[in-house]
Every structure is written in C-alpha cells, then in structure tokens.
Amino acid sequence: MDIRQSCGSDKTAEETEEYCVAAAASLAFHILEQDRAVGFIGYGESRHVVQSDRGESQLIRILETLAVFDAGGTRNLEEVVKIEGARISSGSTVILITPASGHGYSAAVRDLIRRGAHPVVIAVDRTSFGAPEKPGEDMSRVRMDIPFLCYEW
C-alpha cells in the first residue's frame, strides 16, 4: 500500500489506513469463516507476509500482523505484484485494498490477470477522507474488467 504518498496529509493517511486495515481484517474473518484459506502480503514501512492457511489461529496471525502494519512505505502496488508474483498461484483470488486511483493499480491488475490470478480491487476513496483530488482522478470513472468496490466515508 502506498497510503501516505497517496493521501496528502498524515491525518488523512491515518484515517484511510485504518479503513484499509479494517477491510482486510473483515475479509480475512469472512473468508476463514467459510473454511477457506487466506494469506496476507502487505508492504509499508516493512514487508509483512502471512502464508495462506485456514482456521482460527490463521485469523489471529493476520490480526496480529494488521495490528502493527504501518503503510508508510514507498512501494506501489505494481512493484509489490512484481516482487511477490511468484507467491501467487494461478487461479488464486487476489484482493487489492488501496487508496490509489485506477491509474495507480491498473498495471498491477493486468499483471495478476496475466499470471492467471483473479484480482478484486477494493478502492478506498481517499478524497472522502479529505485528501486532495488529483487531476484526472475520479474513482467513479475507473473502468476495468474486474470486480471493483469503491469504499467512501
């Protein structure tokens, strides 16, 4: 995640980061509740990886990781997908949670599709948290052939 770079202010970044973390925790709980395997890869101040697994202990591992996750890193989603692509099995569903606009993650999505993954984007609209809108960036205009959810405050 590139939250601090994308948001424009520390306060906006913190609020946006909290919503991204809450979304990740909720998704992990939901997926594990269905007895499906889930993992976590996050890049912020440091790299965080929780190998894919099932069960209550997996939820605890992911929640512990999210509790200390700081998204203030410098890597964008495209770089993360290039670095971590070998870990993603063909046929896997990959959920990208990001405050970036479509321009900020479209290359990552195309790369995942090329690798045989099924990407889903959860885009947190950082402008709804008070971040400045960048020219040409309108979340409602993002069009890609993938499941897309725009989360606004």
DSSP classification of residue 88: S
Task: Indicate the pLDDT class of residue 17, thresholds 50, 70 and 90.
Answer: confident
Tokens found for residue 28: 């992990």
Beta strands in 5-147 (DSSP E): 38-43, 47-53, 93-98, 118-124
Mean pLDDT across the chain: 80
Q: Which residue has the tokens 């889930």?
A: 38
pLDDT of residue 146: 57
Residue of higher predicted confidence among 144 and 135:
144
Annotated domain spans of the chain: 3-151
Task: Indicate the pLDDT class of residue 75, thresholds 50, 70 and 90.
Answer: confident
Residue of higher predicted confidence among 87 and 153:
87
Q: Is the pLDDT of residue 152 over 60?
A: no
Longest C-alpha distance within the chain, in Å?
44
pTM value is 0.77
- Domain 3-151: assigned CATH number: 3.40.50.410
